[in-house]
Chain A
């Protein structure tokens, strides 16, 4: 299943947040959204996943999600959004309970996603017992459990320290190479963007428009953190964003 963002504009009251954004999200690819603070990245992600409706334009779904897919458009949030009163396992079963899945099948799914995210030993732990990186892995496991057609990740690593971030990035890459998923990945961090993105969409400051689409054709598996080609791309992205970021920083926030 592909997604197509067609000439989407969005406004909150008289604040223009997004302007005429058109973006292709092809199956099996990771599209990164970068842009200065407040340019509407999170808003665009909420629109894509149907949590909000755009003021104008459309989000179109091309093709059908795979049969076993329980929730085609699935989020991973920056603040993890785990239920603190449920164990790791309980947080994952939460998203399966509303579908008529027989108990043993649910158990199989849970065991499978815990294994893929290296959480098998923490099945019964409560969120308060986990570190930030582990919590985000639980959130990723939960998202994988519904077998999504498209993963929508809003700064999933921003709340973590840089070492944990690096480790989780490796985990995401490993997950992708094991089974290619489609994803929209919002981030502030250009390093994450060049490591994970097949396509990087650079947004301008508010009202956000697509300023440039950067395609990286190095396969994900071959990108190492200190690859000079990647660093060149990262520099290019920063040059694109620099002025926007400075200008955005100076603007008064009046909401």
Chain B
């Protein structure tokens, strides 16, 4: 007989909790190290700009009003394109989820469009929709459309069938079943698809602006890059990161509000 001892705990981990402060600390430490490296010369000025200089450039951008000159058209393009792509994507995704014929017809088509790098189609869109905003909207719309469709019909497939049965058993109309059972039931999947779609939207936005735009963050970065103006280039990149973080925060907020019912 050995000594009595407490049973070993082995149920830890696999339960992520939200620890708010670590994220910012990682950023601050990383930027602090870079600042230190560039100040002391361990990192050569041509390799990376000083974070403090990037910040100064950013402040300059803000004061001169240049920031809004570039940010406003970019945001407009992203919003218009993504709104178009996401709404049609959700509509088509739900149609695929509900109707066998549409599913049979469209799923292969979507699978064929999905892997095409949409940026390769920009010249085509320029011919179809003009060199101005039209082609950029179309590009972002198509880029956000395909992931939204795939996420939406997957989400519709995953809606609890017993809830739909319940709706039928109470004689709910087809419309009510779709609006009050299928759509809310698919919402978690649709929202997580939205995260991916919007990230793709930002990437395409920048790509489109690099290929031809007077104003916009993509254009700004391209200009800075061709002059090897690393401070401005990084200031542009920081704006993009902030945009990504903002979009993700907005979706997170939406998820918390709309999906409060989830345990």
A interface residue numbers (CB < 8 A to B) = 49, 51, 70-71, 73-75, 77, 79, 81, 83-86, 94-95, 97-98, 126-128, 142, 146
Contacts and interface: CB of A to CB of B under 8 A. Distances in A.
A85 B187 CA distance: 11
28 contacts: A51-B168, A51-B169, A70-B171, A71-B171, A74-B169, A74-B170, A75-B169, A75-B170, A77-B165, A79-B162, A81-B162, A81-B166, A83-B180, A84-B261, A84-B262, A85-B261, A94-B172, A97-B176, A97-B180, A98-B172, A98-B176, A126-B260, A126-B261, A127-B261, A128-B261, A128-B262, A128-B263, A146-B170
A82 to B, nearest CB: 8
Nearest to B181: A83
A75 B166 contact: yes
A126 B263 CA distance: 10
A126 B166 CA distance: 18
B249 interface: no
B184 interface: yes
A-B residue pairs, 3 tightest by C-beta: A81-B166, A85-B261, A128-B263
Label chain A's interface by main secondary structure.
loop
Contacts of A95: 170, 172
B163 interface: yes
B173 interface: yes
B23 to A, nearest CB: 29
Interface in B146-202: 162-163, 165-166, 168-173, 176, 180-181, 184, 187
B27 to A, nearest CB: 35
Nearest to B175: A98
Contacts of A127: 261
Q: What interface size band does chain B fall in?
A: 10 to 19
Contacts of A98: 171-173, 176
Given A94-B180, A128-B261, A83 B163 contact: yes
A71 to B, nearest CB: 5
B163 A81 contact: yes
Contacts of A126: 260-261
Interface in B214-263: 260-263
Contacts of B170: 71, 74-75, 94-95, 142, 146
Contacts of A74: 169-170
Contacts of A84: 261-262
Contacts of B181: 83
B165 A81 contact: yes
Given A73-B169, A74-B169, A128-B261, 12 more contacts: A51-B165, A74-B170, A75-B169, A81-B162, A81-B163, A85-B184, A85-B187, A94-B170, A97-B180, A126-B261, A128-B262, A146-B170
Contacts of B261: 84-86, 126-128
Contact of B162 (A77, A94, A128, A146): A77
Nearest to A50: B169
A81 B169 CA distance: 11
**Best-surrounded residue of B168, B169, B173, B180 (most CB of chain A within 10 A):** B169
Given A83-B181, A95-B172, A98-B171, A77 B166 contact: yes
B263 to A, nearest CB: 4
